[in-house]
A and B are shown apart, each in its own frame.
Chain A
Amino acid sequence: AQRVTQPEKLLSVFKGAPVELKCNYSYSGSPELFWYVQYSRQRLQLLLRHISRESIKGFTADLNKGETSFHLKKPFAQEEDSAMYYCATHRYTGANSKLTFGKGITLSVRP
Chain B
Amino acid sequence: SQQGEEDPQALSIQEGENATMNCSYKTSINNLQWYRQNSGRGLVHLILIRSNEREKHSGRLRVTLDTSKKSSSLLITASRAADTASYFCATPSNTGKLIFGQGTTLQVKP
- Decide whether A and B assemble into one complex: no
Give residues in A with beta carbon < 8 Å to B. none
Give residues in B with beta carbon < 8 Å to A. none
